[in-house]
Amino acid sequence: MVEKQDILLVGVGGQGIILASDILGEVALQMGLDVKKTDTLGMAQRGGSVTSHLRIGEKVWAPLISLAEADIIIAFEKLEAARWAHFIKPEGMVIINDLAIPPLSISLGTHQYPGDEEILNVYKQRTDRIHLIPGSRHADSIGDIRTLNIFMLGLLSAALPFRIDNQLWEKSIAAFIPKKIADLNMRAFNAGREVAESVNI
């Protein structure tokens, strides 16, 4: 019996969040689990706030994760991490990519981008399991910033309470990623996993 997992992926349009949750959904499906996944994009446009709700378990009813019930939040951007913090359950796991993408209102001077401590403190009200990881820098050093989403999946794979066979990840990633960049992305995935292990995620 696999424990139910509610995983919330958040970030900014263009970071590959939907693809990452599609891959994880496929992995869960291949494990024979029930899966529900819903993406909220708002109006179609570049650079908007993106969330993907992924629920896996023996039986899942609602497609949306409820407030204060997310087992894991994986944030591709810091402001978005702050925006969706109220979804984390007490003692839930939070993984945040150390990247700021300031919206236009910051440069127009009407708003301020929150500081790291401020963001982490919001989560600390519910959990101590918070990891701020320079994912974009890792992805860049792997050779392509666009592998960030697969790097984050690597981190996430270590955060799950059950171990998933590496071959299954590989197969599912290959199903969604063009062949010529599959190797690059597997490197990103493994790098994510190694980083996760080094910080005890």
Partner 1 sequence: MGNIKKLLSGNEAIALGAYHSGIAVATAYPGTPSTEILENLSQFKDIYAEWSTNEKVAMEVGLGASYAGVRTLVSMKHVGLNVASDPFLAAATTGIHGGLVVVSADDPGIHSSQGEQDNRYYAKLARVPIVEPADSQEAYEFIGIAFTLSEQYDTPVLFRVTTRVAHSKSVVELDDALIRPHHKKSFYHNVEKYVMLPTHARNRVPHMHRRMAELIEYAETTPLNQIIDGRSKLGVISSGVSYQYAREVFPEAHFLKLGMDYPLPPKMLHSFAARVDKVFIVEELDPFLEEAIKELGIQVEGKKFISRVGELNKTIVRHAAEKAGLITVPNQPSDIGAIHNLPGRPPLLCPGCPHSGAFFVLSTMGQRAKILDASGKSQGESKLIITGDIGCYTLATYPPLRAMDTTACMGASIGQAIGLEKAGVSSKVVAVIGDSTFMHSGITGVIDAIYNAAKIAIVILDNGTTAMTGHQDHPGSGISAQGVVTKAVDIEQLVRGAGVNDVKVVNAFDIKSIRAALKSALDSEEVSIVIVRGKCAVRNKARQNSRRVDIQKCNDCEVCLRIGCPAIYKEEGKIIINALTCMGDQCGICEQLCPKQAIGIFRDSK
* CA–CA dist 56, 146 (Å, integer): 26
* Contact residue for partner 1 among 104, 117, 167, 180 (CB under 8 A): 104
Please tell me whether residue 1 binds partner 1 under the rule CB under 8 A: no
- Report the length, in residues, of the chain: 201
Instruction: Quote the crossing angle between the two packed helices 148-159 and 17-30, to the nearest 10°.
Output: 40
Residue 146 C-beta: closest distance to partner 1, Å: 12
Please say whether the beta carbons of 115 and 137 come within 8 A: no
Q: Could you say which of 86, 141, 166, 183 contacts partner 1 (CB under 8 A)?
A: 86
Q: Does 107 bind partner 1 (CB under 8 A)?
A: yes
Tokens of 56: 């896996």
Rounded Cα distance between 161 and 91, Å, is 13
- Residue 47 within binding range of partner 1, rule CB under 8 A: yes
Near partner 1 by CB under 8 A: residue from 67, 116, 143, 183:
67
Residues 135-154, one symbol each (x = binds partner 1 by CB under 8 A, - = not), give: --------------------
- Taking the C-alpha atoms of residue 188 and residue 182, their distance in angstroms, rounded to an integer, is 10
**Helix extents (H) in the chain:** 17-30, 78-83, 104-107, 116-124, 135-142, 148-159, 166-176, 182-198
Question: Considering the rule CB under 8 A, would residue 78 count as an interface residue with partner 1?
Answer: no
Looking at 15, 36, 153, 173, which residue binds partner 1 (CB under 8 A)? 36
At residue 57, the 3 state secondary structure works out as strand
If the CB atoms of residues 42 and 197 are measured against partner 1, the closer one turns out to be 42
CB of 197 to partner 1, least distance (A): 28
Interface residues with partner 1 (CB under 8 A)? 12, 22, 25-26, 29, 34-40, 42-49, 60-64, 66-68, 79, 82-83, 85-86, 88-90, 102-114, 118-119, 122, 125-126
